[in-house]
Chains A and B, each alone.
Chain A
């Protein structure tokens, strides 16, 4: 499987390179008959200041425990260790004013033997944050033969920090087998009651014919 994770802690420099690579790639295939809008925002290579400030606040507070995976216009990606997730989330809520979770996505990385759970945080109350989405990623241990709920694939639930994760976490539990400790309602949500196979979004669950 491909190695997105290895390069995950992208430093700012590589981020710059990446965005500078971005442009030619974007420009090349366009045949240019249409008058493309002068995308002024995307021209400057330096990082957007506001987003960087936010990311810095988190790194200041938690130091080594978190890594900033990327900072793009309106988007910040933070990687957190499994144990600090709760604290970071509380920090994001109380200090940074993020007030709800938009989505909780689980991504399976069998090559790393890990499952990543990504929380996308956003804010309704703080007008300065209305464009922002903070991506909190954390990783749980993955087992080859999962017994959902009864193996090491466990994380601490964020339900008491952000109530809105309730159903999302239920979904991640059944789709990837990540058990959320502290979640009151780790029940089946979408799949049939008699589902006995692997959690379907794991990469080793193959759908037929593929």
Chain B
């Protein structure tokens, strides 16, 4: 696992009797749906081998057997709490392949849904981060406040998390009546709530002493490893697809992308929090600028055929840049769908960050990489 240019950690090749091999996962409160094989020398991790694939469900293969519309339900399953965002690049790419131009109102609604979903995702992430740090309240508060937005999404789409809302050609249904008011009310309250986390979590001295200066990912390594999203922005690189390559109507909205310099677990855990506040801003802005009425969906022919060629689209999801690469061969089904998921791209950083760290830092570093195993496995 060691590389010539990265700090080698404690490179120990021969099996020393002080070294113990520990399986963390798949049934482990601190592993999620994966296994990490770590070797520890006392308190220090000397080798680490992530073993994902416990939720590998073959989405990419299945996508080759379904047409562009019917691919929607299963392609959103890898990250059901960020399901709008994981569908987004697929929908954008297939719209380009199918040659569709979607209505303006649908674009705004998509942006709102995607930002709401980003918050939902981050709140869940934060909740688990709390659990991983042994902070049960920090599980409960985000998990509860997240329900405010889930309630909104449910009003909007009819499902709590698996919305199947975006579809090639727009969105499935229009907003319900007086959605804007409810949305504003709950988003405002939500923003108030997340600011409460500062005292018990983000400015808690114990948390800071525990996460600051651990698992430092330098700027160079962040680039070299091709990490993305909050991991990247915590290392001081201002790269957000929403800003750099705006899709739909992001170029008309007013927001910023937070960047921190330290590159440690603390910075990585703080970026999403700041992101959520920006998301609230975007939602309010978009609600204001949205056309108040109009069509939201382009009617498709049954079994539309994509044109020959390939498309690569990317968006910024809750975890980072999410790309979708579709190859089409003029059939109703795509020839190949490849999701380039941020979790998988961030996984590569895990061995590098874990080696040489304390065992106690493992959960916090692991989860601060913004890794969602189901997505990485697809």
Contact = CB atoms under 8 A, between A and B. Distances in A.
A36 B101 contact: yes
B interface: dominant SS: loop
A34 B62 CA distance: 34
Given A120-B340, A130-B244, A4 B294 contact: no
A191 B329 contact: no
Contact of A77 (B291, B310, B329, B340): B310
Interface in A94-139: 99-103, 105, 107-108, 118, 120, 124-125, 130-131, 133, 135
Size bracket of the A interface? 35 or more
Nearest to A107: B336
A14 to B, nearest CB: 11
B198 interface: no
Given A2-B329, A4-B327, A167-B347, A200 B226 contact: no
B295 A26 contact: no
A120 B93 CA distance: 15
A29 B300 contact: yes
Interface stretch (B15-23, B50-58, B281-289): B50-58
Contacts of A27: 101
Contacts of A3: 329
A168 B53 CA distance: 13
Interface string A166-185: 11100100010000000000
A133 B299 CA distance: 31
A94 B36 CA distance: 35
A102 B291 contact: no
B299 A162 contact: no
Given A107-B327, A188-B53, 14 more contacts: A1-B329, A30-B101, A30-B102, A31-B298, A70-B309, A101-B226, A124-B223, A162-B226, A163-B225, A165-B226, A167-B347, A175-B60, A191-B56, A201-B60
Interface of B: 3, 52-53, 56, 58, 60-62, 65, 99-106, 169, 223-228, 232, 237, 239, 244-245, 291, 294-296, 298-301, 307-310, 312, 314, 321, 323, 325, 327-331, 335-336, 338, 340, 344-345, 347-348, 377
Interface of A: 1-4, 7, 18, 22, 25-27, 29-31, 33-37, 39, 70, 74-75, 77, 99-103, 105, 107-108, 118, 120, 124-125, 130-131, 133, 135, 162-168, 171, 175, 188-192, 200-201, 205, 207, 210
